[in-house]
Structure 1
Amino acid sequence: MPELRLATFNCENLMMRCDFRRAGIPDARQQLTDVDTATVAAQVDAVFNVLSEDDRTLTAQALAATEADVCALQEVENLVTLTAFDTRYVARWAGSAFGGRVLHEGNDTRGIDVGLLSRVPVVFQRSHARRTYGSLEVMPPRGQSVNDLAFRRDCLEVDIAVKGRALTLFVCHFKSMHGGRLRTRDVRRAEAQAVRRIIGERFADPAGEEWIILGDFNDYREVDGVALDDSGLDPLLDDGFAVDLASQAIADPLDRWTHHFAEDDIYGALDHMFLSPRLAVLNPAPDIRIVRAGSPYHAARYAGPRFPGIGWMEPKASDHCPMVATLKFEGRAFPA
């Protein structure tokens, strides 16, 4: 049975905003999905110094510490940035670049997208950024119409292959809590319903197939073991449609957090891996870990070692911690 070490990580504003014309890259904005061309790829380093050296070094260290085969990423500006980060920073700390890179332009007004780094073959990829509530038959949140886009960023659908067997991933980054968790909950609930519809389109029997929804969902179903009944993630979990891997595999509820909100001193599990029921059965006791060595010191609940250079608030790897798990799967024969 194939085995995969899979991570998810919100890199926090992995951007390289600059004047591409001054760097000698004509029309780079039109080439963001074609970074393997000699014109762009050869000049990536020329514009990469706009990224924070300290923060991005720590981000790469945290990602390398997962030792993942595949990592789903959130808050990446574009494919050029992802390529430069992989080849210049991740390669330094992990020993080599991932090499496989996927990113499609999404809907976020700040230009932050979801993406994927992979050491195993990516055999299928599809963006759902342009799907509307109407096309997915999802009731829009109040104030929105059926013609509005269902995702604040994207739901990136990717198939990866290990030993000739394919597994499907759905990489997400749901609406933030900016404006208040309860006031924004219905948008995340609609996004969760949209993801569920997409999985239903892909698989006639979702419960009997193997797939994973992962990413930053900007919501939680519990805080320190106290269950909440107002989560925007309920459509994915309430009736057993998917299984929350961390809740199943990490016994101590105080050890499930991936994010510390300093203002209210809340340690929340915003980053998740949701497994299909079939895949959960195949992984009753998976090896799962949350890498917190890149967390700033204000996240005082973590008392373990930190990477050199971490500060009280900054520098840091991210405001999120990467989560990584080793999973077994049967998958589908590839090519099908």
Structure 2
Amino acid sequence: MQISIGTFNLNNLFSRFNFQASVPASPSPDAGGITMTFDNADLVVRTFKGRLVKGKDPADTATIAVRIRDVMNLDILAVQEVEHIGILKEFNRSHLGGMYPFVALVEGNDQRMIDVGILSKLPLGAITSHQMAVHPNAPGERVFGRDLLQVEVLDTSGDRLMTVYNTHLKSHFVPFDQDPEAGAIAANARRRRQAEMVSRILSHQERRGGRFVLLGDMNDPEDSPDLAPMLTADFDALVNGLAHAVESRPAKSETPGQGPGPASPQWTHRFNPAGPEPPRYELYDQVWLSAKLAPLLVSAHIDRRTKHGGDGSDHDPAWVVLDF
């Protein structure tokens, strides 16, 4: 039996319900919504940093659906940047034809309300959220800005086939009102603490010889020193399932004068910095296999975008095929 499992950052899969309203110039920066009165009834309008949160563009939603349904067609898909389980179920029902009978998502900690979830053709067992986890060096705050979602995947007889861990680590984004150098240092430190906690949790949850997959949007390349603590602990070292991934199509050529383009096919995220620096191509979206699962790897794939900005998402999906 072959099983395909992968990851896709859906890039702000927000609710299709939008409200038009005037937003005060200086809302509270921590507010999750602004209460407005309509005909004596209160309605909370979703905002982030004073801007209305809109649903994902229908054309982009259709594009990611085609990639998931017609190109990938995976047995298990880990997704990131989903507003809530309701919109994930609606997306599965309306855009994927209900191809995934099993859906898992637990609300995380992100101020933008973006969560991580699992879509599966195989039955799911226990679902565990690690959103409450705190790092020993910062016990007063939750370490995961989103979550580390742990889901058991079962075979048709109800036995545990493997465990999937889906996460979305701290991005490199620094708000424009913060010092860029200090902000970058803080973001990298946060991501490293998250990587350390992933390792700590895996060490508690898994044992040597266990069958599990760690995947998601790591917001750093696979060889980043800030991710290094995540890859070993009280279990065998994890194996990069995408080390030899093949593209569904060649990468789009760079504009003359902007650099040579990607050095290898192993990338899922393109960042074009301001100034003369050429675009960077990095493997942000990763699939790590336990030592027990690594020998089962048959193939690895990345669905390549057709536009530099991405097709429905600024991340390209990646997946592996395992032969059980």
Give the TM-score normalised by structure 1: 0.72
Q: Indicate the structure with greater strand content.
A: 2
2:245–2:266 CA contact under 8 A, matched in 1: no
1:59 alignment counterpart: 64
Q: Equivalents in 1 of 2:116, 2:42: separation in Å? A: 23
For residues 1-336 of structure 1, what are the structure 2 equivalents within 5 Å? 2-16=1-15, 18=18, 50-64=55-69, 65-91=71-97, 96-134=98-136, 140=137, 145-164=138-157, 165-166=159-160, 167-179=162-174, 183-203=186-206, 205=207, 207-222=208-223, 230-237=224-231, 241-247=237-243, 254-263=264-273, 264-283=278-297, 286-292=298-304, 295-298=305-308, 313=309, 316-329=311-324
Q: Aligned pair in 2 of structure 1 residues 56, 208: CA closer, same or farther (>3 Å)?
A: same
Q: Aligned pair in 2 of structure 1 residues 181, 81: CA closer, same or farther (>3 Å)?
A: same
1:62–1:317 CA contact under 8 A, matched in 2: no
- Residue 249 of structure 1: CA displacement? 5.3
Any idea what the Cα deviations from partners look like across 1:113-141, whole Å, max 9, x if unmatched? 0001111101111111012124xxxxx3x
**Which secondary structure does the structure 2 equivalent of 1:219 belong to?**
coil
Q: Equivalents in 1 of 2:240, 2:90: separation in Å? A: 33
Any idea what the Cα deviations from partners look like across 1:211-267, whole Å, max 9, x if unmatched? 010000000135xxxxxxx53210123676211111255699600001111335111
Choose between structure 1 and 2 for higher RCO, CA contacts under 8 A separated by at least 6 residues.
1
Calculate percent identity across the aligned residue pairs: 30
Q: Equivalents in 2 of 1:77, 1:318: separation in Å? A: 15
Any idea what the Cα deviations from partners look like across 1:275-319, whole Å, max 9, x if unmatched? 111211333xx2111011xx2522xxxxxxxxxxxxxx47x3210
- Residue 150 of structure 1: CA displacement? 1.5
Any idea what the Cα deviations from partners look like across 1:69-93, whole Å, max 9, x if unmatched? 11000000001110111111122xx
Q: Equivalents in 2 of 1:234, 1:116: separation in Å? A: 25
Count of aligned positions: 264
Structure 1 residues without counterparts, runs of 5 or longer:
20-25, 30-48, 135-139, 223-229, 299-312, 330-336
1:185–1:231 CA contact under 8 A, matched in 2: no
Q: RMSD across aligned C-alpha pairs, in angstroms?
A: 2.8
Q: Equivalents in 1 of 2:245, 2:301: separation in Å? A: 10
Q: Aligned pair in 2 of structure 1 residues 276, 328: CA closer, same or farther (>3 Å)?
A: same
**Which secondary structure does the structure 1 equivalent of 2:216 belong to?**
strand
Letter in 2 for 1:233: L
Letter in 1 for 2:321: T
- Residue 28 of structure 1: CA displacement? 11
Letter in 1 for 2:266: R
Give the TM-score normalised by structure 2: 0.74
Q: Indicate the structure with greater helix content.
A: 1
1:219–1:231 CA contact under 8 A, matched in 2: no
Q: Equivalents in 2 of 1:219, 1:27: separation in Å? A: 42
